[in-house]
Amino acid sequence: MLKFSANVSLLFTEYELVKRFEAAKQSGFSAVEIQFPYSVPPEILASILAEQELKLVLFNIAADDLMQGGEGLACTPEKQAQFEEALAQAVAYAHYLKPEAINILPGRCFDKKRIKDYEATFKGNLLLAAETLKPLGIKAVFEAINIYDMSGFIVHNGKQMLAILDQLQHPNIYMQVDIYHLHRMGENVVEFIAQHIDKIGHIQFADCPGRGQPGTGNIDFKEVFSAIQQSSYSGWCGAEYKPVGGTFESLSWLKRFKVPDI
């Protein structure tokens, strides 16, 4: 059965962050995810989750300046010490929040002459994260982000993700498949999911173009959701879209596609 989590970094932004969890619960979600939880102390987040009876399934390791147009953290050779500090911070939060997976965003390289160094740095940091999270029972996931939204992103398609998995051969490293980003890069998402479901640790979705809720773009979500449901995937599917209209109004896709209860 499909399980849906609400990404409270993009959904319910009508409220301040700590109030979005209650809004997610009221909308019927039993699980949430968050991009970067670090603006709120972990013990407070844990208390809110317990009060609302919500499970936090995923968050990201801090990514420095990535969201402001910079290179980010995990792939930049000069930021190795900073990445290790960010990993330690994520582990500290994980002790309180108990996520199923933590996402390591690869980042960007703006100097093409250094791409090999950036790729090597990311792979080393991904291995470090995987080893660090394994004793905690937390999956290390990483994702491809399309180069139209984030130019220079070093991992931007499914082939690259698969190559990294093949090279590293680590049992605690999985792909985070974002349906929006793969579709934006022209990939057949349904086919990719069907072929590589055993290597996927988390799924996120938004429609394309626009990154709005299902039904606002040209992705056939009935087909996508059916493919996930028919696969062996037992993880969560994160609604990580930018609502067209209010968040509550945007949730009509649940009924439209006749998705099982969330």
pLDDT digits 0-9 by tens, 75-133: 999 999 999 999 999 999 999 999 999 999 999 999 999 999 999 999 999 999 999 99
φ, ψ (nearest 5 deg) of residue 16: -65, 160
pLDDT of residue 257: 61
Structural domain count of the chain:
1
Residue 262's pLDDT band, with cuts at 50, 70 and 90, is very low
Output the domain CATH number for residue 181.
3.20.20.150
Tell me if 262 is assigned to some domain.
no
pLDDT of residue 261: 46
Q: Of 43, 143, 191, 249, which residue is the catalytic one?
A: 143
Tell me if 166 is assigned to some domain.
yes
Residue 254's pLDDT band, with cuts at 50, 70 and 90, is confident
- Dist. CA 108–CA 147, nearest whole Å: 10
Examine the pLDDT at 195 and tell me if it is beyond 50.
Answer: yes
Known active-site residue 14: no
133-165 tens-digit pLDDT: 999 999 999 999 999 999 999 999 999 999 999
Higher pLDDT pick, 254 / 152: 152
Q: Of 33, 119, 187, 240, which residue is the catalytic one?
A: 240
Tell me if 149 is assigned to some domain.
yes
Known active-site residue 71: no
- Does pTM top 0.85 for this prediction? yes
Residue type, 54: L
Q: Out of 134-138, 190-194, 256-260, pick the least confident.
A: 256-260
Burial (CB < 10 A; 0-12, 13-18, 19+), residue 1, is: exposed
Tell me if 145 is assigned to some domain.
yes
12-37 tens-digit pLDDT: 999 999 999 999 999 989 999 999 99
The parent domain of residue 123 ranges over: 4-256
211-225 tens-digit pLDDT: 999 999 999 999 999
Is the Cα dihedral 196, 115, 187, 250 positive or negative? positive
Percentages helix, strand, coil for the chain, rounded to the nearest 5?
45, 15, 40
Tell me if 49 is assigned to some domain.
yes
For the chain, the average pLDDT equals 96
Tell me if 110 is assigned to some domain.
yes
